[in-house]
Amino acid sequence: MDATFAERYAALSSRDSRFDGQFIAGVHSTGIYCRPSCPAMTPRAKNVSFYRTAAAAHEAGLRACKRCQPDAVPGSPDWNLGDDLASRAMRLITDGVVERDGVPGLAARLGYTPRHLTRVLVAELGAGPLALARAHRAQGARTLLASTDLAVADVAFASGFSSIRQFNDTILAVYETTPTQLRALARRAGRAQATGVPSTISLRLPARAPFDGTGLMRFFADHAVPGLETGDDTAFERPVRLPGGVAHVRLDVLASEALQENGVRCTARLESISDVSTLVARVRRLFDLDADSVAIDGALARDAVLAPLVGAVPGIRLPGAVDAEEALFRTLVGQQISVAAARTVLGTIAAELGTDGLFPTATQLAEGGRGVLRGPASRVSTILGAAEALASGELVLDVGMPADEFQARLVALPGIGPWTAGYLAMRVLGNPDIMLGTDLVMLQSAAALGLPGTTKGLTEHARRWAPWRSYAGLHLWRARPVAAKRAAPTIGA
């Protein structure tokens, strides 16, 4: 028994819910796969195989356990933690790229041939891109069947299936039941939240405990753009641009230790029901719902200076972004001015250049930004240059890009430096291991805590926080001295 198998089997034997979604336990004697916390009797080790994805378990001829519903859990944190081809492919697959562009489109986004991509995914994840996308569609369908009153046919197309027959065949193969029976089974677990309006959905998106959802909501509320977003400590609302149209989204924090419920309630009014899975993927990234907070907190708490900060704010999460271009412009506008000033400027930009209540696109900014943007000429030039590069296709920002390439493309533009590129890698890619060693507030906070207060010193000290340096930085920002809070420039409004 190798070490990895032994660790996973121990988690399965103890029914440890912390590992739900991080791996799948396939039980060959029964032909099913389960989440690690499945309440069923622990199978013998000789009958168990572990898989990184549900698709790999499907390919091995296994079906999902009806008792523990292994799909109703947070996703794997590996896809943000890793920067390899498999991880980047999974970020795009969960965003619905295969449904929109097919495997050739996915491969092109990643810069490889479909054949090479398939070979790598089969070797790393146990299944090719079609099988991984199929499993993702099945999981999305299960969520919609459990959480909405959408007709079964609408669920099929909302989940990305091309036909009702394909949908029925997949549900039968994965869950060994019909869609109608799966809906009844899922709702017996008490997860139903029907809206009664076909174009409106309400879904529970789970997170691993601990989950500092209130801290994220406070961040989004503090940086909300007038006319575009509203929020407080418990809820956040804004429009989201999706492939099929605009979704108007409300997000509410779910946090109940008694009910063992952590995560976000997503209520959305959609123009196209086919955008459901893409919206879910983007909201999960926005709230960093798949992070393994137990592992992150445990690693950072080993540093005596960080331990009290981690204890005060367990489950801290990276605030993500629903639109990479918007995140870039908001960051550029917000640098070196206060949060309040940045919100005012961004509100003016959104009101004068945006349409449909959305933040303007790169093309809209490139065409009309010169008449709206105010401030130092160098900053205006940087924003317009980035907008023109994005509009022309010279610059591409994609969640499937390696972090190094993502940052290098940004730094290559005039006026964009390493801080901006690293900050956006955190927000857009969800990269967990970015250290912004030049950040003034972070340096002030570090010095106040007794850590090195210079860029070189803090960067060197932070090596012990890898691969969670992004989260360590969030703790330093949260703990910044009062004087720094009063004078601090905005960090990525």
The letter for the amino acid at 65 is: C
Of 34, 38, 65, 68, which residue is the catalytic one? Answer: 34
- Determine the Cα angle at 410 with ends 407 and 416, to 5°: 115
| Helices within 270-376 (DSSP H only) | 276-286, 293-300, 307-312, 324-334, 339-353, 362-368
Q: Which of 239, 99, 204, 243 is nearest to 157 (CA)?
A: 99
With H, G, I as helix, E, B as strand and everything else as coil, classify residue 217: helix
**Alpha-helix runs per DSSP H in 176-306:** 179-187, 213-222, 276-286, 293-300
Residue identified by tokens 């013998």 is: 44
Within 13 Å and on the Cβ side, how many CA atoms surround 405?
A: 14
Determine how β-strand 24-27 pairs with β-strand 230-231.
unpaired
Question: With contact defined as beta carbons under 8 Å apart, do 205 and 177 qualify?
Answer: no
- Tell me the pairing of strands 48-51 and 200-206: unpaired
Interatomic CA distance for residues 430 and 287, integer angstroms = 10
Residue with tokens 């739900």: 20
Calpha distance 233→55 (Å, rounded): 37
Asked whether the beta carbons of 36 and 23 are under 8 A apart, the reply is: yes
Given phi > 0 = left and psi -120 to 50 = alpha, else beta, which region is 437?
alpha
Q: How far apart are CA 490 and CA 170, in angstroms?
A: 48
Axis-axis angle for helices 418-429, 403-411 (nearest 10) = 140
Cβ–Cβ < 8 Å for 231, 178: no
Q: Among the options 78, 292, 323, 439, which is catalytic? A: 439
List, edge to edge, every strand of the sheet that includes 24-27: 48-51, 24-27, 32-34, 63-64
Q: Is 439 a residue of the active site?
A: yes
What is the rounded CA–CA span in Å between residue 433 and residue 437?
Answer: 12
Torsion of CA 475, 476, 482, 483, to 10 degrees: -160
Dihedral of alpha carbons 297, 298, 299, 302, sign: positive
Active site residues per annotation: 34, 439
